[in-house]
Structure 1
Amino acid sequence: MSAPVRTTNDLRLGLLRQPGTVLFGPGQRHHLARLLPAYGGRALFCTDERMAADPVYRELVAGVEEAGTKVTTYAKVEPDLPRQNLEAVARAHDGDEFDVVVAVGGGSVLDFAKVAAILLAQGGDVAALYGENVVPAAGLPLVTLPTTGGTGAEATCISVVYDDERSMKVGIASAWLEAAATIIDPEFTLTCPPSLTTATAADALTHLVEAFTARAKNPTSADLDAHLYAGKNLLADTWARQGLRLVRDAFPRMAADPADLGARSDTMLAAFSAGLAINTAGTAAAHAIQSPIGALTHSAHGLGVGALLPYVLRFNLPTRIEELAEVADLIGVAPAGGSAEAAAHAAVEGIESLLATIGCPLDLAALGLRPEHVEQVADQAMLATRLTANNPRELERADVVRILERGIAGDRSWWT
């Protein structure tokens, strides 16, 4: 088992990447018609079949067209973004000319549009873009409109694609994927099914915690040029703190009344805050381990990272007592007059309580993971080096096995 070694941001580095324009608030989707003409008169709208049939979407498109923008809709995006979806849009619109790409949907739709904007501008093969900073140049301008409160994909410059030839999810990470603008309208989330609300909210909370407790890397200028993720830093922390304060009250209110627009708004703002935080700090072990679990069990990404978080935090706790003690204060569970370690323990339990409040399972067996899956999942998780490098505690294969075994058993005792 690896020895816990604490990392700190000795450089006092701050790094932020974000869309050029951010518009947040209920009803703000209607501003899209005024925003798009600045990019040109031909827009490709990307969405899925469910959203394309929604009257809210049709009203949005009608308003855009009435304002003078010609809209073509591509509505065949599938969950977990299969590579074939991107190949299909490139074939369907080969030779077509668009001025801007607009994404209206959840995380898979937003991730799809980021890569589609590159392919439509540059051509080429999807697999040639896999990895970190491989995308050679900018794509078409991209405008994102998230319809779920959780992934933060409207703000991030990474897309996750499922490649069936590799039987795994693969990341495309590049600053060239950053949206030119995003419009975040919480009214979209009022019609989210309960299961989707739970999964995306759990994803947002995991993003906030993993960004705030990420490894500090103290990168050189050359490192910043070569790598997307700078590790834990001042500006990522600022957004993570805001998001954690928001979920403290928003999750219980949203669980009690899914139609509470204020709670939905706060959750969506927390998710956006989380997206900004992970955009430079990165995610870590929970995301690395979830990917093969999701492939095996076909469970939702957000439920997977949420269910893993209590066990990952117990593993990471020796290296992040100070940060978790602050989390306890941010989510309102810090014990009066207690030690930093007691506060860190309270933070982990408070995070578990927030996950339970929104209906996220707290063990891996509930996702369908079984003991015979452990070795395979551990092997595949260790291939996600972009994510494991962000974990605050050095993560070895034996550690992943331990996390998985505890998670399947639902053993949330304190580790020694």
Structure 2
Amino acid sequence: MRDAGTLRVAPRVHFGFGARSQLPVLLSGRVLAVVDPFLLGHPVLDLLGDARIHSDVTPELPVGTLDEAGSLARTFAPDVIVAIGGGSALDAAKLIALLATHDGPLSRYYGENLVPGPVVPVIALPTTAGTGSEVTPVAVVSDPDRELKVGISSPFLVPAVAIVDPELTMGAPTTVTAYSGIDALVHAAESFTARRLDLDWSAELPVFTGRNALAEPLALRAAAHLGPWLPVAVRAPGDRRAREEVAKGSLLAGLAFGSTGTHLCHALQYPIGALTKTPHGLGTGLLLPYVLPLLDPDRVSEFGVALGTDDAVGRIAEINRAIGVPASLSDIGVRRDQLPRIADLALGSARLLAIAPIDPTREVLLDILTRALRG
């Protein structure tokens, strides 16, 4: 199985300055646009024609708001859904597309491979460079009945078209650029270091298939784009080359982890983010220098080469400092007595931990957390 691999990609992926101009060419029939509310009035919306606009996208995506939006979409019966915005808007559009096609509530589909068939086609235009949601088979919601966010994963959730235009990221706030960009680098690192799963080709495959010969070069190229250019994009937000490089790196990282999955940084971030109310990318980026030393040194070294160094951990810590990611969990308000609870909650992220390349015991998680607390 050393050379096994699976890629699930959108039928169309367009990248480059001006790529958004493809949008009118792709639209037909009844169009529903799911748009971040802060984009109302943005010139990109002029490309939508007479589409119906849904801009009630709530941060963290409470599941109740999506059930309601999905019901309205089913009544409207769109032929295509356009998603424009950050990761929340893109995830919302994917789940509204699901509920416009299949019966709710959304909780029926929590987990993997539970979506029964195709959904309304989604055309995704990200305005941030980091989540990779425009090319991935997963969307994440918050459910008041659960302590942590919950994912819905299915190949049917991969958008039909991804249009990545770096121009749309030019207005992103500095912290959004930093935290979403470092999350993209974590996606690349965790994809490249994922566990090799023993796949049964005669059965339905898991959505995330672990170490992947087809995704590996994508993860390394993502690192090569993100490593040198993310600090530039944060320091000089108007630098078009930096925005292009970071957007390209984010897209490639999304293509990589959308097939392999992510692991320890993400499993630990979910309880940390819930506890501290800090951005997702801040948490994953903070944790990465404390996770990598536990992994296969050859894989970590090869990832470092993609970053242009023989010290991947040191380089990532340097990038974090340059873009304003805190160095320790204590910097974001985590206390030592909270670490056992964080570890216990992370142990519940079975999908993520299954991809971890080491045995993710409670002791291992506590070791990562303890070192991250000290900084």
In which range does the TM-score fall when normalised by the shorter chain? over 0.9
Whether 1:43 and 2:31 are equivalent positions in the alignment is: yes
Equivalent residue pairs, number: 375
**C-alpha displacement of 1:328:** 2.0
SS of structure 2 residue aligned to 1:154: helix
Whether 1:353 and 2:318 are equivalent positions in the alignment is: yes
SS of structure 2 residue aligned to 1:159: strand
Please give the alpha-carbon distance, in whole angstroms, between the structure 1 residues aligned to 2:252 and 2:356: 20
**C-alpha displacement of 1:94:** 4.4
Aligned 8 A contact 1:306 1:362 in 2:
no
Equivalent residue, structure 2, for 1:382: 347
For residues 303-318 of structure 1, the aligned pairs below 5 Å read 303-316=282-295
SS of structure 2 residue aligned to 1:121: coil
Equivalent residue, structure 2, for 1:238: 217
Q: Indicate how the Cα distance of structure 1 residues 91 and 218 shifts in structure 2: closer, same or farther if over 3 A, else same.
A: closer
Please give the alpha-carbon distance, in whole angstroms, between the structure 2 residues aligned to 1:94 and 1:33: 23
Q: Which runs of 4+ in 1 moved over 6 A?
A: none
Equivalent residue, structure 2, for 1:414: none
Counterpart residue identity of residue 161, structure 1: V
Equivalent residue, structure 2, for 1:366: 331
Structure with larger Rg: 1
**TM-score under structure 2 length normalisation:** 0.97
Whether 1:60 and 2:44 are equivalent positions in the alignment is: yes
Aligned 8 A contact 1:13 1:218 in 2:
no
**C-alpha displacement of 1:360:** 1.4
Please give the alpha-carbon distance, in whole angstroms, between the structure 2 residues aligned to 1:405 and 1:323: 24
Q: Percent identity?
A: 37
Q: Indicate how the Cα distance of structure 1 residues 11 and 327 shifts in structure 2: closer, same or farther if over 3 A, else same.
A: closer
Equivalent residue, structure 2, for 1:104: 84
Aligned 8 A contact 1:251 1:357 in 2:
no
Instruction: Could you tell me which runs of 5 or more consecutive residues in structure 1 were left unpaired when the two chains were aligned.
Output: 1-9, 335-345, 411-416
Please give the alpha-carbon distance, in whole angstroms, between the structure 1 residues aligned to 2:297 and 2:73: 52
Whether 1:227 and 2:192 are equivalent positions in the alignment is: no
SS of structure 2 residue aligned to 1:172: strand
For residues 9-158 of structure 1, the aligned pairs below 5 Å read 10-37=1-28, 41-52=29-40, 55-56=41-42, 59-65=43-49, 70-158=50-138
Equivalent residue, structure 2, for 1:4: none
**C-alpha displacement of 1:60:** 2.7
- 1:140-170: CA deviation from partner (whole Å, max 9, x where unpaired): 0111000001111111010111111112111
Aligned 8 A contact 2:34 2:83 in 1:
yes
- 1:331-389: CA deviation from partner (whole Å, max 9, x where unpaired): 1112xxxxxxxxxxx11111211222222112112222112221211111000010001
SS of structure 1 residue aligned to 2:142: strand
SS of structure 1 residue aligned to 2:56: coil
Please give the alpha-carbon distance, in whole angstroms, between the structure 2 residues aligned to 1:244 and 1:63: 32
Equivalent residue, structure 2, for 1:203: 183
Instruction: Could you tell me which runs of 5 or more consecutive residues in structure 2 were left unpaired when the two chains were aligned.
Output: none
- 1:301-357: CA deviation from partner (whole Å, max 9, x where unpaired): 0000011111111222xxx111111122111112xxxxxxxxxxx111112112222
Counterpart residue identity of residue 302, structure 2: E
Equivalent residue, structure 2, for 1:407: 372
Aligned 8 A contact 1:11 1:218 in 2:
no
**C-alpha displacement of 1:408:** 1.2
RMSD: 1.3
SS of structure 2 residue aligned to 1:12: coil
**C-alpha displacement of 1:392:** 0.6
Please give the alpha-carbon distance, in whole angstroms, between the structure 2 residues aligned to 1:222 and 1:78: 41
